[in-house]
Amino acid sequence: MGEFVTLETNDGIGTIKLNRPPMNALNTQLQEELRAVAHSAAGDEGVKAVIVYGGEKVFAAGADITEFTKVGYQEMAIRAEALSSAFDAVARIPKPVAAAITGYALGGGCELALACDWRVVADDAKLGQPEIKLGIIPGAGGTQRLARLIGPARAKDLIFSGRMVDAEEALRIGLADRVAPAADVYRTAVELVRPYVTGPSLALRAAKLAVDGGLNLDLASGLALESQLFAGLFATDDRIEGTTAFVEKRKPTFTGR
C-alpha cells in the first residue's frame, strides 16, 4: 500500500509489514503510512486478526532521530500529536492484534509494540524506551501504555534509565507474552491469533473495547460500559448461534454478524 508499510491478508490474518531498511526507523512518512494501513485493517471485513511485523531481522529500532535534530518546540508541538495518533490507530484496530518482534523494539518501536494486544518476542530480541538518553521522553504512548501494562514502578525503571531488556526479562515483567526463536516469531504470532479468525468478530470487538475503554474509567463507569456492550451483543446473529450451539452441544459457526 505504501512505500514503507504494507498490509497483506492470508486466511483472515492481516499482516502489517514495516519495510524501511536497515532498522525500520519510524520517520514521518512511515508513521502516516502506518496510520493509513491500520485504518484499512480495521475496516476490512476480510481481516479478522492482525500481526504487526518488522521482518526477520528487526521490528523497529525507534524514531528517525535525524528528523529530531531539525525541529524545535513549535514544530514538534504540532507533530507530536500526529505521531501519537498514528500509533493509536493501531491500538484502535477493533480486532485481536499481535506484534511479532525480532531484533530490536526500541523507542517508537517499543511504543508500536505496546499499541498491540500481545507481543511475541524473539529469544534474542531487545526492547526498551531509550529516549531519556536523548534528553527527551517517550512521545507516542510509552509513558502511558507501558505503565498500564507492567505497572508504574517498572515503567519508571525502564523510562528513567533508558535501558534495554532482553526477552527473558520482558516475559517476566509482562512486556512480552510469548518468547520464541527468532526464526519462529512470525509463525508463533500466527498461531496466537489464528483461533480468532473463526471467532465471533462483534463479541471480540466489544471485549477489546470494554477492556481498553475501561482502563480509562473509574470502576462504576467501566462496569456501565461493559453492561452496554454486553447487552448490545444480544442483537447479533453470533449470540444466537453461540447460545444455540451450546444448548445443542455442538461447535458454533460464527459469521461475524
Return the active site residues. 111, 131
Question: How far is residue 60 from each of residues 3, 153, 244, measured CA to CA in Å?
Answer: 16, 25, 45
Nearest to 168 by CA among 180, 151, 157: 180
Cα 101 from Cα 93, distance rounded (Å):
19
Element (H, E) at 158: helix 152-161
Cα 58 from Cα 70, distance rounded (Å):
26
Dihedral sign, Cα of residue 215, residue 218, residue 220, residue 224: negative
Instruction: Indicate the DSSP class of residue 26.
Output: B
Instruction: Please state the φ and ψ torsions of residue 233, each to the nearest 5 degrees.
Output: -70, -15
